[in-house]
Amino acid sequence: MSRLLESYAAIPAAGSVRLAKRTSNLFRPRSANEAPGLDVSGLDGVIEVDVVNRTADVQGVCTYEHLVEATLPHGLIPLVVPQLRTITLGGAVTGLGIEATSFRNGLPHESVIEMDILTGAGEIVTASMEQHDDLFRTFPNSYGSLGYATRLKIELEPVPAYVALRHVRFDDAAQLGKAVEAIVESGEWEGERIDGLDGVAFEPGELYLTLAQWSDGGSEAPDAASSGGHPLVGDYTGQQIYYRSVQERETDLLTMHDYLWRWDTDWFWCSGAFGLHNPRIRRLWPRRWRRSDVYHKLVGIDRRFGIIDRIDRRRGLPARERVIQDVEVSIADLPAFLAWFDDNVGMRPVWLCPLRLRGERTWPTYPLEPGTTYVNAGFWGTVPVGDNADHAPTNRAIEAELRVLGGHKSLYSEAFYGREEFDRLYDGANLAGVKDRYDPDHRLTTLYDKAVRRH
Ligand SMILES: Cc1cc2nc3c(=O)[nH]c(=O)nc-3n(C[C@H](O)[C@H](O)[C@H](O)COP(=O)(O)OP(=O)(O)OC[C@H]3O[C@@H](n4cnc5c(N)ncnc54)[C@H](O)[C@@H]3O)c2cc1C
């Protein structure tokens, strides 16, 4: 902690404060920064797992991969485990993580009991619903603009060793939406308890929900400790690719560990951009490098040197626009959004993840209504747009459609909102008031400057 505070003191008052962190899941380009970053090198561990009370005390930049390594041997996991291994607990709370348990457990910040935050004033403040509740409630979706979480105490949930999956096909989004509502209402599908729920839209008439049930594995399970390589337990860390199994199999059984990281190995389906869907390249690609953080670094290198853009130009292909977004619409609006998306963007597959607030409590910087079911639609790729690429026409059109449907988008990627609209969507007035209290000298970059102006 002293290293963190010293590094904060060393940042000139005029310089912007940023984390000096090895990994990132941020997808918006940022302006270069001359000032030294905040030294968070000693803040990546798990302090304690309390097995009796089912809580964990965790440092702010501990990755979920390390956190799960510490909790799973006790048969416990965080209530929501975002699916990219190097997302940190602090990052998921300040930047809104989501996963298949979000239809019953909400978002990661809803299972935070308390957190220590290094504020813009350079003080460590413990925030919870009982103390500094203004900071506690405004922090989710503030992306470090109010301060940095250095320690978080979170709830954990008990889990068995396996997860039994059913991939159920739907011919249209309205049918899928009805099924989601039924599962949210009863917690069941055809009499079976559902613990995890996400889906993939492959084509307009081909959508799937993956229904996950925590399981001891039944008669199909080998001894949990020696599960590797058992023929009845799916393994998508080798030659098989998880997203394809959604279309190809009706049922599956994964270890809890492999279920949590099922999307990381191939960065959903985005590893295809590096040739990993080709069996020959996949065999040659070292297993330890089939991870989202490796692909993220490769994308960073490509962006820095403009490699693919240059190849496309030489081939006479139109310039492409990066469309990397997670947006959320109400379940009732999902069919309209997907229909618009097919007509105007046309990227497939699209990841679908239902979510609901866990309780009645609301979070002003990302306003969701209690009792309403939403779906997060995630799409990550590029579309050909020609000379207009720099103006980001597709990303802007998506914002316009969300405006029509009353949806929101995550702010980890590019955003183009005008100030007024941004403030309306993310409660800028409340954010500014809380910022004035905890960052009186405005040492930290504002959310709008980070998300839209790319500072
Ligand atoms: C292609 C793509 C797909 C994604 N899909 C999903 C998804 O399906 N599910 C999901 O859960 N998330 C997803 N994310 C979003 C991800 O959860 C957020 O971007 C999250 O903020 C990343 O956390 P990180 O720890 O990697 O933080 P970083 O990427 O390092 O930082 C993200 C932001 O959070 C701030 N920050 C980081 N740590 C802290 C801290 N301790 N305290 C305060 N502020 C902090 C940083 O200043 C920065 O503004 C996706 C991101 C990408 C790029």
What is the structure's pLDDT at 34? 64
CB burial of 150-171 (b: ≥16 within 10 Å; e: otherwise) equals bbbbbbbbebbbbbbbbbeebe
DSSP strand pairing (162-170 vs 206-215): antiparallel
What is the structure's pLDDT at 224? 44
Residue with tokens 């997808």: 27
**To test ligand 1's pocket by mutation, which of 11, 21, 59, 84 has the most ligand atoms within 8 angstroms of CB?**
84
Quick one: pLDDT band at residue 146, thresholds 50, 70, 90?
very high
Reported as a single tens digit per residue, the pLDDT across 367-380 is: 999 999 999 999 99
- Atom nearest to 324 CA in ligand 1: 1
Q: How far apart are CA 178 and CA 175, in angstroms?
A: 5
Rg over alpha carbons for the chain, rounded to the nearest Å, is 22
Mean pLDDT of 125-151: 97
Own/partner pairs for 258-263, CB < 8 Å, 24+ apart? 258/233, 258/234, 259/163, 259/165, 259/196, 259/212, 260/68, 260/77, 260/81, 260/83, 261/65, 261/83, 261/85, 262/83, 262/236, 263/83, 263/84, 263/351
Domains and CATH numbers, the chain: 2-32+39-158+431-451 (3.30.465.10), 162-263 (no CATH)
Reported as a single tens digit per residue, the pLDDT across 205-254 is: 999 999 999 998 876 665 544 545 555 678 898 999 999 999 999 999 99
Q: Is the pLDDT of residue 113 over 90?
A: yes
What is the structure's pLDDT at 221? 62
Ligand 1 contact via 60 beta carbon (within 6 Å): yes
Residue of the nearest CA to atom 41 in ligand 1?
90
Give CA separation, 276 vs 40, 267, 282, 399, in Å: 33, 11, 5, 31
- Using alpha carbons, select from 96, 61, 59 the residue that is nearest to residue 80: 96
What is the structure's pLDDT at 330? 98
Supply 343's token pair: 């007509």
User: Which alpha helices (H) appear in 193-291, and where do they start and end?
Assistant: 242-248, 256-260, 279-284
Mean pLDDT of 390-394: 93
Q: Is the pLDDT of residue 340 over 80?
A: yes
- Atom nearest to 263 CA in ligand 1: 8
Question: What burial class does residue 36 get, using C-beta atoms within 10 Å of its C-beta: 0-12 exposed, 13-18 middle, 19+ buried?
Answer: middle
What is the structure's pLDDT at 305? 75
Containing 196, the helix (H) or strand (E) segment is: strand 196-203
Residue with tokens 């029509």: 404
Residues 6+ apart with CB under 8 A from 197: 100, 103, 180, 183, 209, 210, 211, 212, 353, 354
What is the structure's pLDDT at 19? 83
Least confident of 18-27, 95-104, 401-410: 18-27
Residue with tokens 């059984």: 253
Give 386's DSSP letter. G
What percent of the chain is modeled with pLDDT above 70?
Answer: 95
What is the structure's pLDDT at 230? 55
Helix (H, G, I), strand (E, B) or coil at 446: coil
Interval between CA 18 and ligand 1 midpoint (Å): 14
Reported as a single tens digit per residue, the pLDDT across 39-71 is: 888 899 999 999 999 999 999 999 999 999 999
Q: How far apart are CA 274 and CA 251, in angstroms?
A: 29
Supply 353's token pair: 């993840």
pLDDT mean across residues, the chain = 92
Q: How far apart are CA 199 and CA 208, in angstroms?
A: 5
Q: Does 189 or 8 have the greater pLDDT score?
A: 189
Quick one: pLDDT band at residue 190, thresholds 50, 70, 90?
very high
pTM above 0.75, yes or no: yes
Residue of the nearest CA to atom 18 in ligand 1?
95
Q: How far apart are CA 409 and CA 141, in angstroms?
A: 11
DSSP lists the bridge partners of residue 335 as none
Supply 2's token pair: 């002293």
- Atom nearest to 96 CA in ligand 1: 17
Amino acid, single-letter form, for residue 387: D
Chain-centroid distance of CA 364 in Å reads 19
Ligand 1 contact via 88 beta carbon (within 6 Å): yes
Own/partner pairs for 419-427, CB < 8 Å, 24+ apart? 419/448, 422/448, 422/451, 422/452, 423/448, 425/367, 426/141, 426/365, 426/366, 426/367, 427/364, 427/365, 427/367
